[in-house]
Amino acid sequence: EVQIVESGGGSVQPGGSLTLSCVGSDFTFSAYAMSWYRQAPGKERELVADITGDGSRINYATSVKGRFTISRDDAKNTGYLQMNSLKPEDTAVYYCAAQQAPNGLLPRDYDDWGQGTQVTVAS
């Protein structure tokens, strides 16, 4: 069965940086689109970024454009979210999710989810 594990969360000051990792196992990682979602207290889960299996198409939420970078290394079965210039508003649990999809296409929905990693941005 598909297994996804996120790591790299923590507590940082405003303006700091973190890199989250998403490791997949028991599936062909390159055949799956990958996404990062986040959920802050009292708010709905929102899409942060996603990327096609071959890396040819990338999408970002407007709130993180220019600050976050999504990437993947299929040889390592690992996806990444590099987060720079972090703001208190970025505080949330961040989730990695994957969905099998043809190359060049971003799926409408994601079926396989990790457990999440906490990111806290505060002074």
The pLDDT, as a whole number, for residue 79 is: 97
What is the DSSP annotation of 18-75?
A: EEEEEEEESS-GGGEEEEEEEE-TTS--EEEEEE-TTS--EEE-TTTTTTEEEEEEGG
- Looking at every residue in the chain, the average pLDDT score rounds to 96
Does position 108 have pLDDT exceeding 90, yes or no?
Answer: no
The pLDDT, as a whole number, for residue 103 is: 83
Does position 50 have pLDDT exceeding 90, yes or no?
Answer: yes
